[in-house]
Amino acid sequence: MEYQTVRVRFQESICFLQLHRPEANNAINDRLVEECRHVLSICERSATVVVLEGLPEVFCTGADFQELREHHERGGAVQSPEPLYDLWLQLATGPYISIAHVRGKVNAGGVGFVAACDVVIADDTAQFSLSELLFGLMPACVLPFLVRRAGFQKAHYMALMTKPVPVQQALEWGLVDAHAANSASVLHMHLLRLRNLSKVAIARHKRYMHALSQELQQAKQGALAAATEVFSDPGNLEGIFRYMATGQLPWQR
């Protein structure tokens, strides 16, 4: 498969999966979700570790509003959030160790990618935000993964405040596991250790950990319904499209 939105390389049993849409600040579109899921399906058979990376200055900025507008102008129904939720489930429960290597800005659905991973390593430029409520939306699909990682109140606070959380605070909250100015060296040290684990052991461990806590699967239907509701709201869509055209946020009349 030729990939348009990601770059992939394998180093023995380690897969490096880079989100690569520099022209769109690594926004999430349907193609990116499809390609990531295809790579992870290969990793289920052949990888013990998956390293998920973004660009040096931006990890992922969330939903692609341009694709949303084009879909709306074609008269299409609201796009289902289920493929994206299932992609994050693959990262959270797949038979490999998923590592998010984060540099730069992480917003909205980008936080979902990070929160779904088993290990999060960041450099000093990393910052995390949930901007959805600014547009009348909500991070419905992100929150089950973020609550699991950082706790209910921290996730609730991030969603309400919509402001960026710096990496040191994210470390204290449990969203980040390790950070340093040179995050590549921290990643290398983790890989030296993790590559010694067998795929069978990793798969058993991940399966058992997922069985201990079923909240991701239990939250799925409610998350999908909530996400569909807010992206179906004509007022929300009007505010998003005006922001794209003028740069004005919905309350800036």
- Structure-block tokens of residue 230: 């807010």
Contact 103, 123 (CB under 8 A): yes
CA distances from 211 to 8, 201, 214, 249, 250 (A): 30, 15, 6, 42, 42
Pick the closest to residue 210 from 151, 148, 155 (CA basis): 148
| 64 three-state secondary structure | coil
pLDDT value of position 114: 98
Residue-wise DSSP of 101-134? EE-SEEETHHHHHHHHSSEEEE-TT-EEE--GGG
pLDDT value of position 253: 67
Residue 222 in domain: no
Residue 154 in domain: yes
Choosing from 35, 118, 132, 177, which is the catalytic residue?
A: 132
pLDDT value of position 33: 98
Radius of gyration of the chain (CA): 18
Contact 17, 57 (CB under 8 A): no
pLDDT value of position 223: 97
Tens-of-pLDDT digits for all 253 residues of the chain? 789 999 999 999 999 999 999 999 999 999 999 999 999 999 999 999 999 999 999 999 999 999 999 988 888 777 899 999 999 999 999 999 999 999 999 999 999 999 999 999 999 999 999 999 999 999 999 999 999 999 999 999 999 999 999 999 999 999 999 999 999 999 999 999 999 999 999 999 999 999 998 889 999 999 999 999 999 999 999 999 999 999 998 888 6
In whole angstroms, what is the distance from residue 68 CA to residue 173 CA?
32
64 an active-site residue?
Answer: yes
Residue 221 in domain: no
Choosing from 53, 64, 118, 177, which is the catalytic residue?
A: 64
pLDDT value of position 251: 82
Residue 184 in domain: yes
Residue 233 in domain: no
In whole angstroms, what is the distance from residue 250 CA to residue 253 CA?
7
30 an active-site residue?
Answer: no
Residue 51 in domain: yes
Residue 193 in domain: yes
Give Cα 13 distance to the centre of its chain: 23
Give the total number of structural domains in the chain.
1
- Structure-block tokens of residue 129: 């935000």
Strand partners, 179: 122
CATH of the domain at 109: 3.90.226.10
Domain range for 81 = 6-199
Residue 253 in domain: no
In whole angstroms, what is the distance from residue 174 CA to residue 240 CA?
31
In whole angstroms, what is the distance from residue 79 CA to residue 127 CA?
28
